[in-house]
Amino acid sequence: MKNIFRISAKIDLWLIIIGILLSIIGVLFIYSSNINKDHFKYIKQIISLVLGIIVYIIFATYDYKRLTEKWFFLYIAGIILLILTLIIGTKINNSKSWIKIAGFSFQTSELCKIFFIISLTSFIDKFKDNVKSFSFIIVSLLLLLPYIGLIIFQPDLGTVIVFILITFIMLFIAGIKLLYIGTLFFIAFIAIVFSFTSYVFDFYNINNIFSNILRNQVVLSIAGIILIASGFITMIIYIITPFQSKRVFYTYIVLLSMGFGLFISVPMKNFFKDYHYKRLIVLIDPEIDPLGKGYNIRQSVISIGAGKFLGQGFTSGKQNRGNFLPSEDTDFIISVIAEETGFLGVSIVILLLFFLVYKSLHIAFSARDFIGYMLAGGLSAMYISHILINLFSATGLFPVIGIPLPFISYGGSSLITNFIALGILFNIESKKFTYITK
């Protein structure tokens, strides 16, 4: 019993304390943001908080290694869950992402993040000796494909971006070559820029030879194929040359990247909707559509500025009470907090979020084995992605794509998922102190 006490005494409870504190802050400001509307939202959030603490206890006491051993089952279960969502799901805010259970709506993609992180962790652990190979990153992305493919059909672009960020952060901490990650991001950058540029020309009615060439999908496809072919020729030259030049190496990488980027930009332009592109334009200049797509960002920034240092008081925010701020209990809850508690209140919230990430990363880097390191790293990546996207969206530094702020934004499925992650992190940390006495 003495040994057990010594082991338990070393376990850090700060992570769950931070999670509960953030959740309480969330409940308070969900109440404040709905004081003239839906009084039951904060009650639903309290119920979700209680359920979250229950699932936290379950996962905190369940061996994470046994969890990762079930990775294939969880991977398939996640795909089935997303398929069921498309078939029997409920559409909310133009996205069929929820399944109704006993009067409660559950966003299945939230739970699927945990399933995917566990699955990718197990895959990386099994093939960690091949992590430097290009085939490793291709298979990793193939594991991701069914998840983002099904979520795209909902459609939920924000969750797709979170899945992609989680994947690349996990591959990065696994030790994959930065060249591979940089190349893939460069391809994505080229594809987005050319698909977006075409929309900008249409939006501003720009008509000249240059804009007409960039609008022409056939021209872009042919240009992409030519660049890809040039890249392959350069690659062959690099391989057969006795003295391999780095200049030639980087030339074929750039040519291939630009070629694939141009080629992908054609289907990408047809995939994204007008409102996606308009959000990017509004991000650059909110005054272009101040009463449409730019309205949310403008009102959010006004709310944040109105709070000054100490805020206007709990439930007393003029933007909030006047219903000027949209999605005030989800996407823009940090704006409500800023308006009502000012710089001081927001600083406390951001400090708590910082410690949440810091403690999560500390657990990852101090894990006793590689699989614990990867699993904690993946869960940390989930928190980091949500926090940065939500805060940047509320301040006009990133398009608004509906990503909740962990533990604070309204949403039972998000809150419960965050507590599951906390439970797994606690279990990983607790195993550091497990030892066998002779």
Residue range 118-158, pLDDT digits in tens: 999 999 999 988 888 888 888 998 999 999 989 988 888 88
The band of 3, judged by pLDDT with boundaries at 50, 70 and 90, is very low
Tens of pLDDT, residues 342-373: 999 999 999 999 999 999 999 999 998 999 99
Which residues, at least 6 apart from 168, have a Cβ–Cβ distance to it below 8 Å?
Answer: 181, 184, 185
N-terminal to C-terminal alpha carbon distance within the chain: 15
Contacts with 159 (C-beta within 8 Å, 6 or more apart), sequence order: 97, 109, 151, 403
Please state the three-class secondary structure of 279-338 as a single string: HHHHHHCHHHCCCCCCHHHHHHHHHHHHCCCCCCCCCCCHHHHCCCCCCCCCCCHHHHHH
> Which residues fall within 8 angstroms of residue 424, CB to CB, at 6 or more apart?
59, 60, 64, 67, 114, 375, 376, 379
For residue 168, pLDDT beyond 80? yes
| pLDDT of 72 above 90 | yes
Least-confidence region, from 115-119, 124-128, 299-303? 299-303
Residues of the chain with pLDDT > 70, as a percent, come to 92
Asked if residue 336 lies in contact with residue 324, where contact means CB atoms within 8 angstroms, the answer is no
Q: Taking the C-alpha atoms of 119, 125, 130 and 131 in order, what is their torsion angle to the nearest 10 degrees?
A: 70
With CA atoms as reference, report the closest residue to 55 among 413, 438, 436.
413
pTM over 0.85: yes
Q: With 50 as the cut, is the pLDDT of residue 340 above it?
A: yes
Taking CB atoms within 8 Å and a gap of at least 24, the contacts of 186-193 are 186/254, 186/257, 186/261, 187/257, 187/260, 187/261, 187/264, 188/261, 189/261, 190/257, 190/258, 190/260, 190/261, 190/262, 190/265, 191/260, 191/261, 191/262, 191/264, 191/265, 191/268, 192/265, 192/268, 193/265
Q: Using 50, 70 and 90 to split pLDDT, how confident is the model at 438?
A: very low
Averaged pLDDT of the chain: 86
- Residue 250: in which H helix or E strand, if any? helix 246-271
Is the pLDDT reported for residue 76 higher than 50?
yes
pLDDT > 90 fraction of the chain, expressed in percent and rounded = 43
Per-residue confidence (pLDDT) for residue 2, from 0 to 100: 43
pLDDT of residue 243: 66
Given pLDDT bands bounded at 50, 70 and 90, which one contains residue 11? Answer: low
Phi, psi of 95 (to 5 degrees): -130, 125
In angstroms, what CA-CA distances link 416 with 20, 169, 336, 352, 419?
Answer: 12, 23, 23, 18, 5
Q: How confident is the model at residue 420 (pLDDT cuts 50, 70, 90)?
A: very high
CB atoms within 10 A of CB 176: 20
Give the highest mean pLDDT range of 271-280, 381-390, 395-404.
Answer: 381-390
Whether residue 8 has pLDDT greater than 60 = no
Asked whether the predicted pLDDT for residue 18 surpasses 80, the reply is yes
Domain parsing of the chain, residue ranges: 177-272
d(CA 346, CA 153): 36
Q: 177 — alpha (psi -120 to 50), left (phi > 0) or beta?
A: beta
The pLDDT value given to residue 200: 77
The Cα–Cα gap between 304 and 316 comes to: 14
Taking only the tens place, the pLDDT of each residue in 271-298 is: 777 777 777 777 776 666 666 667 778 8
For 365, the enclosing helix (H) or strand (E) is: helix 333-365
pLDDT band at 24 (very low <50, low <70, confident <90, very high): very high
Beta bridge partners of 95: 92
pLDDT at 234: 85
Are 86 and 95 spatial neighbours (Cβ–Cβ below 8 Å)?
A: no
13: helix, coil or strand? Answer: coil
Q: Which two tokens stand for residue 268?
A: 């990408």
Residue 22 has pLDDT above 90, yes or no: yes
Residue 64 token pair:
């994470």
pLDDT at 186 over 60: yes
Secondary structure of residue 107 in the 3-state scheme: strand
Question: 75-89, 101-115, 272-286: which range is least confident on average?
Answer: 272-286
Q: Would you state the pLDDT for residue 292? A: 65
Which structure tokens are listed for 20? 């509960």
pLDDT in tens, 29-51: 999 988 877 678 889 999 999 99
Cβ neighbours around 406 below 10 Å, total: 26
Q: How many CB atoms neighbour CB 101 within 10 A?
A: 8
Identify whether the C-beta of residue 170 lies closer than 8 Å to the C-beta of residue 381: yes
- For residue 5, what pLDDT is reported? 37
